[in-house]
Amino acid sequence: MSIALAGAEHQGSAKRRRRLGAEIAPGIAYWFAAPSIVLLIVTLLLPIIVVFALSFTDYELGALGISFLGLDNYTALASDPTFWRGFRNTLYYVALVVPGSVLSGLLLAVLVNDLIRGRRFYQIAFFLPVTSTLIAMATVWKYLLHGRIGPVNHLLAALGLPQFEFFGDPELIMPALAVIGIWQLAGFNMVLFTAGLTAIPADLYEAAAVDGIDRPWERFFTVTLPMLGPTTMFVIITSSITAFKVFDTVAVLTRGGPQGASDVLLYTTYLEGFQYLRMGSAAAMTIVFLAIILVLSLLQSRLLDRKVHY
The ranges assigned to domains in the chain are 1-54, 76-305
User: What was the pLDDT predicted at 305?
Assistant: 64
57: three-class secondary structure by DSSP: strand
The region of weakest confidence among 3-12, 159-168, 276-285 is: 3-12
User: What was the pLDDT predicted at 27?
Assistant: 60
- Confidence label for 107 from pLDDT (cuts 50, 70 and 90): very high
Report pTM. 0.84
> Is the pLDDT score of 169 beyond 60?
yes
Taking the mean position of all CA atoms in its chain, how far away is CA 229?
18
d(CA 48, CA 38): 15
d(CA 21, CA 23): 5
d(CA 33, CA 20): 20
d(CA 201, CA 88): 43
d(CA 171, CA 96): 13
d(CA 200, CA 30): 39
User: What was the pLDDT predicted at 4?
Assistant: 45
Q: Are 188 and 105 in contact (CB under 8 A)?
A: yes
- Confidence label for 6 from pLDDT (cuts 50, 70 and 90): very low
Q: Mean pLDDT throughout 94-115?
A: 92
> Is the pLDDT score of 226 beyond 70?
yes
User: What was the pLDDT predicted at 1?
Assistant: 46
User: What was the pLDDT predicted at 3?
Assistant: 47
Contacts of 218 (CB under 8 A, 6+ apart): 208
- Confidence label for 210 from pLDDT (cuts 50, 70 and 90): confident
d(CA 287, CA 81): 18
> Is the pLDDT score of 174 beyond 80?
yes
Q: Where is pLDDT greater, at 233 or 101? A: 101
Torsion (CA) 56, 53, 274, 64 in degrees, nearest 10: 80
- Confidence label for 34 from pLDDT (cuts 50, 70 and 90): confident
Fold for the domain defined by 76-305: MetI-like fold (1.10.3720)
Q: Mean pLDDT throughout 47-51?
A: 90
Q: Mean pLDDT throughout 264-287?
A: 91
d(CA 244, CA 191): 21
d(CA 81, CA 175): 22
> Is the pLDDT score of 181 beyond 90?
yes
User: What was the pLDDT predicted at 5?
Assistant: 41
- Confidence label for 105 from pLDDT (cuts 50, 70 and 90): very high
> Is the pLDDT score of 180 beyond 90?
yes
> Is the pLDDT score of 110 beyond 50?
yes
Report the mean per-residue pLDDT for the chain. 84
